Amino acid sequence: MLRVPDPFARGLLGPALLLFLCLGACGGGGSSVAPPPPDPPPAPQVLSFVNWEVPPVHALERDPSGTRLFLAHEPDHRLEVYDLTTGLPFPLASIPVGLCPVSVRHRAGDEVWVVNHVSDTVSVVDVALGCVVATLPTLDEPCDVVFAGTPPRAFVSCSQANAVQVFDPADLGAPPLTVALDAEDPRALAVSPDGQTVHVAVFESGNATTILGGGIDEVGLTPLGPALGFFPPNVVNDPATPYGGVNPPPNAGLGFDPPLAPGLPPPPPVGLIVRKDAAGAWRDDQGVDWTAFVSGPEAARSGRPVGWDLPDRDLLHIDAGTLAVSDRRGLMNLCMALAVNPASGEVLVVGTDARNEQRFEPRVSGRFLRVLLARAPAAGPAAVLDLNPHLDYQTARVPRETRNLSLGDPRAIAVEADGSHA
């Protein structure tokens, strides 16, 4: 908290106040002596403050009784505790923890676990004592913690290590188990209603797109060998590809939208982003099929082996007992937060999906992603819904009233106890 200096306490107004008192005592009207010039204003005080600007993952938590609220106060590196019995939050305690607390979870009684993203630690806090009673080192950049299994163990997501670590609350000195995840940047966690499955949202899961080489000038590059040639091969320039090696590839039939202005010099060659559709075919922004050159018989022309794939693991499920991992795919690009419907066990994931295969700014014009909700039942396929169903994405601008209805950058989701609303 910034404190404004008290000018009287620091003596900054001392001479002026003394002059005022002297003039008042002498009547103030008969003196011909000019008052001394006022002191120059003090130099502004510069305070050192580092703001890591790490996004919170689960910053608020209530205890089961609903009488206390716990807040991970990230910029101040503290756990804030509030009393809720009067209906309004009343501060009870402010407890220092590690650097950048991004998640807080109540375990039992007065015990609260706080995940410190920059410190690479978990702080075990005794709220009644008002202090940290244990500090657990983790792998790089932990993000969240939940408790699952029989007996319950603590599961901590470590985003940069692409892993979940498992701690035994009954033996904090024991080394944790590590569950390696074949996914990029796991963050938010949730637990199934029966407490036996840990759900993991993969923040940078990908969106089933890949880029084909075509913009690199091979002049001056060293070949990797007679069998490999240059890497990555400029497959977009290859005459055997769908557009016969035309580069840049067209995006409107055999032409361009918007059309190329006459008189311009030839445009530079570029790579091409293709997206895998529901049937497994890799297609460009106008639906032309490049599968043969990505994963099919001609995959070597793009530097890939036949059968190459790019897994899109968005939602992971860890068996709390065996630590076996399964996954859901094809949900979205950035899985930012998740919650579990306590009535049905359905997992709800919110995030965004980039449309990075779309080319040329006038065609994109602000429509570069979708804000999505994925509903993943305990069994069966997941449904993916647009959280802005009032938008048809046909025009780049909509009235202010329509824009005010829109959601963007979703960072949290909660579900009512009866499962009726999220």
Alpha-carbon distance 321 to 150, whole Å?
7
Please write the tens of the pLDDT for every residue from 69-108.
999 999 999 999 999 999 899 999 999 999 999 999 999 9
Query: Which residues neighbour 184 within 8 Å (Cβ) at sequence distance 6 or greater?
Result: 162, 202, 203, 204, 205, 206
User: What is the Cβ-side half-sphere exposure of residue 240, based on CA atoms within 13 angstroms?
Assistant: 11
Query: Which residues neighbour 368 within 8 Å (Cβ) at sequence distance 6 or greater?
Result: 354, 355, 356, 358
Residue 22: predicted pLDDT = 38
Residue 232: predicted pLDDT = 77
Please write the tens of the pLDDT for every residue from 282-302.
999 999 999 999 999 999 999
Element holding 177 (H helix, E strand): strand 177-180
| Contact present, 186 and 143 (Cβ < 8 Å) | yes
Ramachandran region, residue 109 (left: φ > 0; alpha: ψ -120 to 50; beta: rest):
left
- The DSSP bridge partners found for residue 136 are 122
Residue 361: predicted pLDDT = 87
Comparing C-alpha atoms, which of 192, 226, 178 is closest to residue 315? Answer: 192
| Contact present, 106 and 74 (Cβ < 8 Å) | no
Alpha-carbon distance 322 to 69, whole Å?
33
The one-digit pLDDT tens for each residue of the chain (422 residues) are 334 344 333 333 443 433 333 334 334 444 456 677 888 888 777 777 778 889 999 999 999 999 999 999 999 999 999 999 998 999 999 999 999 999 999 999 999 999 999 999 999 999 999 999 999 999 999 999 999 999 999 999 999 999 999 999 999 999 999 999 999 999 999 999 999 999 999 999 988 999 999 887 665 555 555 455 567 788 999 999 999 999 999 999 999 999 989 999 988 899 999 999 989 999 999 999 999 999 999 999 999 999 999 888 999 999 999 999 999 999 999 999 999 999 999 999 999 999 889 999 888 888 889 999 999 998 889 999 999 999 999 888 899 999 999 999 999 999 999 999 99
Residue 224: predicted pLDDT = 53
| Contact present, 249 and 235 (Cβ < 8 Å) | no
Residue 399: predicted pLDDT = 92
Residue 138: predicted pLDDT = 98
| Contact present, 205 and 155 (Cβ < 8 Å) | no
Inter-CA distances, 408 with 311, 370, 371, 376, 412, Å:
26, 9, 6, 21, 12
CA torsion sign, 16 to 20 to 23 to 29? positive
Residue 243: predicted pLDDT = 96
Alpha-carbon distance 410 to 163, whole Å?
24
> Any long-range contacts for 126-133 (C-beta under 8 Å, 24+ apart)?
127/68, 127/70, 127/81, 127/93, 127/95, 130/93, 130/95, 131/95, 132/95, 132/96, 132/97
